[in-house]
Amino acid sequence: MRAAIYARYSTDLQTDASIEDQHRLCARLIEGNGWREAKTYADHAISGSSHLRSDFQRMLEDAHDKVFDVVVAEGLDRISRDQEHIAAFFKQMQFLSIPIVTVAEGEISELHIGLKGTMSSLFIRDLALKTHRGLEGRVLQGKSAGGISYGYDMVRTLRADGEKATGDRIINEEQAGIVRAIFRDYANGISPRAIATALNGEGVAGPRGTWGASTIYGNHKRKTDILNNELYTGRLVWNHQRYIKDPNTGKRQARLNPPEDWIIKEVPHLRIVPQDLWDAVKARQEATRNAAISDGVRKLSRTKRAKHLFSGMLTCGECGGGAIQVGKHYYGCSASRNKGTCSNRLTIKRTDLEDRVLTGLKDQLLHPDLIAEFVKAYQEEHNRLTAQNSVEEAKTKRELVQVTRQIDRIIEAIAEGMFHESMKAKMGSLETRKRDLEANLANVEPAAPVLLHPTCQKCTGTKSRT
């Protein structure tokens, strides 16, 4: 049997040696069973709670292409820690008649899927609760719960027991001066976009390299970025939001927590912005938000921009940054508009851009070479599916013949006077299986004809009198 090895580790705190260790254990299992290693799939620093893993998805594709006959892993939790995903993977492998064998559990069955899937989900939840509890304890001590805000440096000291103390911060005076300047400029009426452009022009490094308007203005509800960071007033606010993973995309999405769940700790030694300057900035932000609403209706210029055909798909040809909607009908370079780091000031009307791209796509996709390639790929996939269905149909017919023979032998034995109570139960299960097999054959659809053929001269663009 051809064996596929799957290995995975979760975070950057682990190393590739973990993959090597898993591979060694799996190779030993393969050798002990007399199998042959066909391929190894490995995902590095990716959580097992997500199924959007490149090698995991590649393994699924290869399973359908019959690249291997058995999947081997160190443990079921290496394949996935999510109940839904591990159950779906198990069902697909069962459909393809590919067993799953792990070093820890042996051959995987429905019992393993139920028990281990539940245990893995409980493990993830328990780990999250313990991590959250530990972070809360650090915040209550006035320490950082992770990450470092612009304007501060992390301090690493040794505790009395010789272990490293983490989470202590001190003010970075150079960055603190920039923070105060940003607050003063905004309070004096300068826009975040103009502030960001000026900082980039002066070569001042920002929290994420270059400065952008969003880096300065942030989100007042989520208390993110420069103008909303209460730590600058000597007040540490933690747990104002939580993250939930989208099951479809695997990406984390922030959700606000109710104020009663917030953890607040006074840290006056970390104050950077005077209270009067903070209040002036908050007053201007409030006035700006109120100006965006007229008679209870949000002005069009302040609404969330609509998504169009190529939204999020365009880049600037000069700097490589993203192209965004500028005004109501035009696209332009976001780095030029929001950061001032790109000299490309050109814009293009959205409808003109869409017309040009769609016209170009139509001309390119109708090229005879591309049509011929499509027809070839279509025929190959059609033939593969047809062959796969034929194999399954032949397998079902063979099993039906075997089941029918077993039934006939039991009937002959009863006719000759041989009868036992167990024969009745066996007869019932065989009859049920026979009905299922006959139903499967009855539902088999005849192979659909190939609608496009590679030798069709009209399709491939060659001339023909016929």
Q: Indicate if the pLDDT at residue 192 is higher than 50.
A: yes
Strand positions, DSSP E, 173-288: 235-238, 241-245, 252-256, 263-266
**Digit-coded pLDDT (tens) for 16-69:** 778 999 999 999 999 999 999 999 999 988 876 777 789 999 999 999 999 999
Class level of CATH domain 2-126: alpha beta
Backbone angles phi, psi at 250, to 5 degrees: 80, 0
pLDDT at position 416: 79
CA distance 228 to 88: 43
Q: How far apart are CA 157 and CA 136, in angstroms?
A: 21
Alpha-carbon separation of residue 134 from 128, 131, 140, 143 (angstroms): 10, 5, 10, 11
Give the pLDDT of residue 89: 92
Q: Is the pLDDT of residue 449 over 60?
A: no
DSSP letter, residue 168: E
Share of the chain above pLDDT 90, in %: 32
* Fold classified for 152-293: Hect, E3 ligase catalytic domain fold (3.90.1750)
Per residue in 427-436, pLDDT tens? Answer: 888 888 888 8
3 state SS of 45: coil
Q: Provide the residue type at 117 as one letter.
A: G
Q: Vertex 283, ends 282 and 285: CA angle to 5°?
A: 65
Structure tokens at 112: 């393993």
pLDDT tens digits, 245-287: 776 666 778 888 898 889 889 999 999 999 999 999 999 998 8
pLDDT for residue 448 is more than 90:
no
